[in-house]
Chains A and B, each alone.
Chain A
Amino acid sequence: MADNINEQTPQEVSFNPVIQPGHTFGSITEKISSIVLTRSTGRGWIFGFAIAFLFTMGLMYAMTYLLIKGVGIWGVNIPVGWGFAIINFVWWIGIGHAGTLISAILLLFRQSWRTSINRFAEAMTLFAVACAGIFPVIHTGRPWLAYWLTPYPNTMNLWPQFRSPLVWDVFAVSTYATVSAMFWFVGLIPDMATLRDRATTRPSRIIYGLLAMGWRGSAIHWHRYETTYLLLAGLATPLVLSVHTVVSFDFSIGIVPGWHATIFPPYFVAGAIYAGFAMVLTLAIPIRKFYGLEDFITMRHLRNMAKILLATGLIVGYGYMMEAFSAWYSNNPYERYMILNRMTGPYAFWYWLLITCNIVTPQLLWIRKLRGSVAALFSIAMVVNLGMWLERFIIVVTSLHRDFLPSSWGMYYPTKWDFMTFFGTIGLFVALLFLFLRFLPVISIFEMRTLLPEAEVKEEVG
């Protein structure tokens, strides 16, 4: 997959550079650090942040009411006990995965085009994991007892069940959050030093100075730094695959028709990368426009991401087909009924909307012209964001609402609190992104310097 991205003729590369010609070490530093240090806070930023903050307050309100009244305010009940909370959890954690993929896997594959998008993709990962983490905790019903999930010696002499995928999930998601945060921070240290040295006010010099921890760019430090960064990438790569595999185990270890399938781990991982790249495109397109970063996030980046979107979309399409095929081939009446119910039952509209969003629409990306159109890419990415949310809705709801016994069938209707919590986390995600754009370098400055031809040591003096 990653190799094909680089398959471009020399002429094509010169038309589609990863960084526009004419830049120097100084101009790169200037352009990226000025967003944080010298440019004034624009009206657009204040307006956008205010709206996002309003939604965050909505989340706080919904969560406060939830703590007072209990999960009964949501639409969850028997038979659908996993409503929006789990749908949103899987959606958010999947979005996070593209950040790790870009920063770790593409680094190992030596895809230099990743450099200008990895910083904010990693930020996206962190904020998405933060939103994801909220849901299982508040879904427990009594979140103040959520620490019971962790193994610790207690007076009740109880221990978690290590054969349960829900316990694996606790370990996987908390490891993922920790490693993503550390990976991001390690990448930021040299840029913090740049901001410290270029800070114009005393408070910013002190704050960035504390974060830079005295980094001085020593050759020996850089040498160890590069080794560590590569090792972290090597650790994050299997980690990202394992996290969504474990998330899929939450479903596939259960014997519910529509969940108990061996296709789930790879299908979930592909879906996560698909959703994540759609979100990276959704964020990259406005950021490069409003902050004038077209020199660094070029059309080549957008085209490459469009190709990855198309490829992973096809894998997800294969997953949907295999789901239907194994239901038919199993000759199991419950499995067969599950897939028929998905396609023709009460949620059929949403199933076919999902197929339209995730399978039909991305086929437009075969057209070369559309891959080069920013507006088309943005629209397709938004459609995929919606489609991937619908996918989790279909998996969670249609499998549970009609299982083995017709007497226990039911319907799931989300309430306004469900929607308020969901939109609230979108607000939290966007608000965190706005703060990130304002206070931290959105593109890795030191890695951008290495992309310049001057960064290479010309000749060896023996």
Chain B
Amino acid sequence: MEQVVPPIYGIMAEYENPTDLVEAAQRAYKEGYRRMDAYTPFPVEGLAESIGFKKNHMPLIVLMGGIIGLISGYGLAYWVSVIAYPLNIGGRPLHSWPAFIPVTFEMTILLAALFAVLGLLAINGLPQPYHPVFNVPRFALASKDRFFLLIEARDPKFDIDATRRFMERSQPREISVVER
């Protein structure tokens, strides 16, 4: 069966300061909305939590990168110096681990940082050439001085008129319907 794609992506309300936005977001979450997002020109403390964001995977991703870097850095130095190209210099031990630490350390940092940046982009779905929110002309202000709350149409509780009425109660500066 063909899936019915709603013609609209969601309803967006615009606020003038972060306090109003956080209040509105908390009220919407309490009302039972779950599929929503907020857009701000700078990170606002507690906003992600107020729309129900819980699991932040970034620390785990960076830790994994660090562990992979650590093992590969030390492994490389060990394999080269002990197995692939052993040099007997006055009978000194081939597995001279203190000399392997600088390379191990740098590789740990390098891979952790690479995982951090690429992981951030991947998990946020960037680069993303198209997103419906950019169809709202006033959304250009989201990177300047305005604060937006969006309730998506795929939210089970979403109803175009009821959601709009609900959003009007938080007295936003403007309400717009976001087209797909």
Q: Which of A62-70, A163-171, A273-281 contacts B (4 or more CB under 8 A)?
A: A163-171
* Bound CA–CA A29/B120 (angstroms): 25
Q: Which of A79-87, A125-133, A227-235 contacts B (4 or more CB under 8 A)?
A: A227-235
Of the four ranges (under 10, 10 to 19, 20 to 34, 35 or more), the interface on chain B belongs to: 35 or more
Say yes or no: is B3 at the interface (Cβ < 8 Å to chain A): no
Q: Are B102 and A249 in contact (CB under 8 A)?
A: yes
Q: Which of A116-124, A192-200, A307-315, A414-422 contacts B (4 or more CB under 8 A)?
A: A192-200
From B43, B113, B128, give the contact of A214 (CB < 8 A).
Answer: B128
- Tell me which residues across on chain A come within 8 A of B68, comparing CB atoms: none
Cβ distance A240 to chain B, nearest Cβ, rounded Å: 10
Say yes or no: is A219 at the interface (Cβ < 8 Å to chain B): yes
* Bound CA–CA A159/B42 (angstroms): 48
Cβ distance B48 to chain A, nearest Cβ, rounded Å: 4
Q: Are A197 and B144 in contact (CB under 8 A)?
A: yes
**Which parts of A196-223 form the interface with B (CB within 8 Å)?**
196-198, 210, 213-223
Provided the pairs A217-B142, A224-B124, A238-B109 are in contact, do residues A162 and B53 lie with their beta carbons within 8 angstroms? Answer: no
From A165, A218, A456, A461, give the contact of B37 (CB < 8 A).
Answer: A218
From B38, B80, B144, give the contact of A159 (CB < 8 A).
Answer: B80
Q: Are A457 and B45 in contact (CB under 8 A)?
A: yes
From A190, A221, A235, give the contact of B116 (CB < 8 A).
Answer: A235
Say yes or no: is A25 at the interface (Cβ < 8 Å to chain B): yes
Provided the pairs A193-B143, A214-B128 are in contact, do residues A168 and B116 lie with their beta carbons within 8 angstroms? Answer: no
From A165, A194, A457, give the contact of B22 (CB < 8 A).
Answer: A457
Say yes or no: is A446 at the interface (Cβ < 8 Å to chain B): yes
Provided the pairs A193-B143, A197-B144, A216-B39 are in contact, do residues A225 and B103 lie with their beta carbons within 8 angstroms? Answer: no
- Tell me which residues across on chain A come within 8 A of B18, comparing CB atoms: 454-457
Q: Are A461 and B144 in contact (CB under 8 A)?
A: no
Provided the pairs A179-B113, A197-B144 are in contact, do residues A226 and B43 lie with their beta carbons within 8 angstroms? Answer: yes
Q: Are B80 and A25 in contact (CB under 8 A)?
A: no
**Dominant SS at the B interface?**
helix
* Bound CA–CA A424/B94 (angstroms): 43
Q: Are A172 and B80 in contact (CB under 8 A)?
A: no
Cβ distance B118 to chain A, nearest Cβ, rounded Å: 9
Q: Are A197 and B106 in contact (CB under 8 A)?
A: no
* Bound CA–CA A17/B76 (angstroms): 50
Say yes or no: is A140 at the interface (Cβ < 8 Å to chain B): no
- Tell me which residues across on chain A come within 8 A of B17, comparing CB atoms: 454
* Bound CA–CA A461/B53 (angstroms): 17
- Tell me which residues across on chain A come within 8 A of B99, comparing CB atoms: 162-163
Chain B, Cβ-Cβ closest to A242:
B105
C-beta contact mask, A247-269 vs B, less than 8 Å → 1, else 0? Answer: 00100000000000000000000
Cβ distance B109 to chain A, nearest Cβ, rounded Å: 5
Q: Are A213 and B128 in contact (CB under 8 A)?
A: yes
* Bound CA–CA A236/B42 (angstroms): 23
Provided the pairs A179-B113, A197-B144, A235-B113 are in contact, do residues A171 and B41 lie with their beta carbons within 8 angstroms? Answer: no
Provided the pairs A213-B128, A216-B131, A242-B102 are in contact, do residues A194 and B56 lie with their beta carbons within 8 angstroms? Answer: no
From A24, A162, A454, give the contact of B100 (CB < 8 A).
Answer: A162
Provided the pairs A217-B39, A231-B116 are in contact, do residues A457 and B106 lie with their beta carbons within 8 angstroms? Answer: no
Cβ distance B80 to chain A, nearest Cβ, rounded Å: 4
C-beta contact mask, A143-182 vs B, less than 8 Å → 1, else 0? Answer: 0000000010000011111110101100110010011001
Cβ distance A440 to chain B, nearest Cβ, rounded Å: 15
Q: Are B43 and A175 in contact (CB under 8 A)?
A: no
- Tell me which residues across on chain B come within 8 A of A381, comparing CB atoms: none
- Tell me which residues across on chain B come within 8 A of A24, comparing CB atoms: 145
Provided the pairs A179-B109, A198-B140 are in contact, do residues A167 and B44 lie with their beta carbons within 8 angstroms? Answer: no
Q: Are B143 and A217 in contact (CB under 8 A)?
A: yes
- Tell me which residues across on chain B come within 8 A of A235, comparing CB atoms: 62, 109, 112-113, 116
